[in-house]
Amino acid sequence: MIAPVIGLCVGIFIGVFSQLTMPEAYSAYAAIGILACADSVLGGLVASMENRFDWRQFLAGFFGNGAVAVLLVFFGNRLNIALSTAAIVFYGSRIFNNFSRIRRFLLNKNEKKDMIE
């Protein structure tokens, strides 16, 4: 459960405090890729809380979702279609769904213990 959170914190730390810069032309691709990867991290956290976390599935989803999201934006730009909006809506809704599952799990965690005792 802790590994996805540690990875997210390390990535945020590197992104905020490093001197690395990205060309503005790639910013849309990076933003959608980060959104897709954040969805995978939260999905991994949910899976870990439900005791069904699998490293292979997490890594495949993390890199696969990121690649599909970036390719979606790339092809959308080539076709002059705003496919980035579709990616934002899709991954954004999944992030909110995963966050609500995490919240429910944490809120119900103590209630289940009280019912057992």
Residue 1 is predicted with a pLDDT of: 59
Residue 84 per-residue DSSP state: H
Residue 117 is predicted with a pLDDT of: 52
Coil, strand or helix: which one is 12?
Answer: helix
Residue 21 is predicted with a pLDDT of: 83
Residue 3 is predicted with a pLDDT of: 73
Residue 7 is predicted with a pLDDT of: 79
Query: What is the domain count for the chain?
Result: 1
Residue 115 is predicted with a pLDDT of: 53
Residue 16 is predicted with a pLDDT of: 86
Domain range for 53 is 2-116
| CA 40 – CA 66 distance, rounded (Å) | 9
DSSP secondary structure string for all residues of 13-65: HHHHHS-----GGGHHHHHHHHHHHHHHHHHHHHHHHTT---HHHHHHHHHHH
Residues of the chain below pLDDT 70: 1, 4, 112-117
Where does residue 56 rank: exposed (0-12), middle (13-18), buried (19+ CB within 10 A)?
exposed
